[in-house]
Structure 1
Amino acid sequence: MRPWTAGTLKAAFFFFASISAWYSGYLLAELIPEVSLTRAVYGFRNIAEKPLLKAPTPKRQKCDHWTPCPLNTYAYRLLSGGGRDKYAKICFEDELLIGEKTGNVGRGINIAIVDYLTGKVRATQYFNMVEGDNSGLMATFIQSAPPKSLLFMVTQDDGASGLKEDAKKVIEALGSKQIRNIKFRSSWVFLTAKGFELPADIQRENKRVSRRRGIKVRVGIQALP
């Protein structure tokens, strides 16, 4: 075959292939509805532009809870203390009654007395159970709480070494099941009432032997009718 004949055939074949490709594309464009392509492009654009949904940041509730307490209840938190910079804490209705920031927390047993009807704090005091004879003073303080009072008790460092029988009996009479079982540097928290009964289904007391971590107690208190 002559050279000019082979070149002519190649050119003709390339021209025919180009015409076929263009016509195939034209037929494909005619067969596929434009609206589908438009919707597809719009859908991809929406996916790209749609903001990512994020969970809302939890809102702090009273006494550092992350869920609100039911209506007609009091919010509170009891936290025993021990070790460096781990102070006992009593919070009631978002008011810090005893803690590092209030400057009234001390080694031994820390007690807060609250009027149940008004929610107002009556008195706070800590009793050193390592140095001095303060067991009798603590028993007197507890007994001085008027009727319709809530009493919150938490240990800081060691609440057992100087705890004597008189104070144990007073706390035991208020419903404590663990006061005779706390040992040297045991963590202990206790909630009780004077002059009325707390609901039977709430946690009133917690104890742990190790002092490495505090004990947190979170429950609501039902309001009086």
Structure 2
Amino acid sequence: NCRNVAKLSGLAFASVCAWYLGYLFADIVPEDSLSSAIENLQNIGEKPVIKPPPPKRQKCDHWSPCSPGSYAYRLLSGGGKEKMAKICFEDEMLISEQKGNVGRGINIAIVNFKTGKVISTEFFDMWEGEFSGPMTTFIKNAPQGSLLLMVTHDDGSSRLKDDAKKAIAELGSKEIWNIKFRSSWVFIAAKGFKLPDYIQRERINHSDNSKNRYNGWPAEIQIEGCIPTNLI
């Protein structure tokens, strides 16, 4: 009858209008926004994921920061033939491959303790040439009130003379008398003042305990820490 025809016509017209409005809405709204809206609706009720902020980088790559009024340091010996030694002090790389001032033998950086600034850096080859004497002079000429930071790369013992060992021992080293061919060795010393007893000052490694990572060479070792600035 006429009433049913009218209802069907109205329903068809409403369906066409709804389809057209949907088509028009999809054409106007960007696809990315539509996908984002659908995704947001799907995520309603889920617990928000809270991500911790990335850890703040500390001086000399320490895990935790030094307290105010302290110097940060990190000494890393060489590892194998290719992995060069590094000395970092107050987040400044004093000796490194990138700086081009690291070499085979014993690497030394001298730092003015009052200012925290580097005075001089040098490396002394203990495999080829006679550099034990110049190294002894370099150490003895370090001014009072300075820090001496020492690390080995490759061999630091073959041409190391007793005079040089004695000069380093007078700064507080015990392991310098035990250093062997290609031993990994790190040492920090103060000249003209005393470091706190709790500071780790020296480490040495004679053997490869890293599953032959460096083809029989001793693995690298390091010491790091914080030194109060008010010692002198």
TM-score band by shorter chain is 0.7 to 0.9
The residue number in structure 2 matching 1:224 is: 230
After superposition, residues 106-185 of structure 1 pair within 5 angstroms as 106-185=103-182
Alignment CA distance shift 1:212-1:51 (3 Å) = farther
Amino acid at match of 1:220: C
- Mapped contact 1:62–1:75 kept (Cα < 8 A): yes
The CA distance in 2 between the partners of 1:88 and 1:60, in whole Å, is 21
Q: Give the residue type in structure 2 aligned to 1:98.
A: I
Equivalent residue in structure 1 for 2:221, among 215, 219, 222:
215
Quote the Cα distance in structure 1 between the aligned partners of 2:105 and 2:146: 22
In angstroms, what is the RMSD of aligned CA positions? 1.5
* One-letter code aligned to 1:170: A
SS of structure 2 residue aligned to 1:220: strand
Question: What is the CA–CA distance in structure 2 between the aligned matches of 1:58 and 1:85, rounded to whole Å?
Answer: 30
Unaligned 5+ segments in structure 2 are 1-42, 208-216
* Contact residue 156 and residue 183 of structure 2 kept, 8 A: yes
- The answer to whether the Cα contact below 8 Å between 1:59 and 1:66 also exists between their aligned partners in 2 is no
- How far, CA to CA, are the matches of 1:86 and 1:146 in structure 2? 31
Structure 1 residues not aligned, in runs of 5+: 1-44
Q: Is the 8 A contact 1:150 1:192 kept in 2?
A: yes
Query: After the TM superposition, which parts of structure 1 deviate over 4 Å for at least 4 consecutive aligned residues?
Result: none
Out of 206-215 and 113-122, give the one that drifted further: 206-215
Give TM-score, length-normalised by structure 1: 0.77
**Match for 1:195 among 187, 192, 196?**
192
Tell me if 1:90 matches 2:87: yes
In structure 2, how many angstroms separate the alpha carbons of the residues matched to 1:183 and 1:212? 11
Letter in 2 for 1:80: S
Q: Which amino acid aligns with 2:228?
A: Q
Match of 1:63 in 2: 60
Take 2:81 and 2:163, find their aligned partners in 1: how far apart are those partners?
Answer: 30
Q: Is contact 1:110–1:125 with CA below 8 Å preserved after alignment?
A: yes
Number of equivalences:
181
Alpha-carbon distance between aligned partners in 2 of 1:102 and 1:213, rounded to the nearest angstrom:
22
Question: Does the CA contact (< 8 Å) of 2:205 and 2:218 recur in 1?
Answer: no
SS of equivalent residue, structure 2 residue 225 = coil
